[in-house]
Amino acid sequence: MAAFVAAPLLAAPTATVGFGVKSSRRVSVRAEAAKGEVAVVINPAIQKDVEKVVDAVVVGELEKPITAYCRCWRSGTFPLCDGAHAKHNKATGDNVGPLVLKK
């Protein structure tokens, strides 16, 4: 039976994110913001016409020995990683990187 891997990684960060600006409001990446927090959209533009974006890969059918999948939702080659997280991380102070699958 072939194993399926969902990309991007299903586990989303649950920590509060800061943007280097002092403010009395906190920004949350959780689906539901707690009192005093502002919820933000993680996915800015990928497949917004569908209810939930799910990409499945049969690991045994990967063409390359190592394949990187996007977890920042900013890749121009989504679901594959194109390194867009580097610009995102620099702009936001985030530390997101790709999901790397090895054959």
CATH number, residue 63 = 3.40.5.90
Coil, strand, or helix at residue 58?
strand
Which residues partner with 100 through β-bridges?
68
Please give the pLDDT value at position 88.
Answer: 87
pLDDT at 30: 54
What's residue 29's pLDDT?
A: 53
Ranges of the chain with pLDDT below 70: 1-34, 39
pLDDT at 23: 45
Domain total of the chain: 1
Predicted local confidence at residue 93, as pLDDT: 87
Token pair listed for 58 = 């049969």
DSSP 3-52: -EEEES-SPPP-SEE--S---S-EEE-SSSPPTTEEE--S-SSTTTTSSS
pLDDT of 42 reads: 84
Provide the 3-class DSSP secondary structure of residue 57.
strand
Question: What is the model's pTM?
Answer: 0.59
Active site residues: 52
What domain range includes position 51?
4-102
* Predicted pLDDT at 26: 53
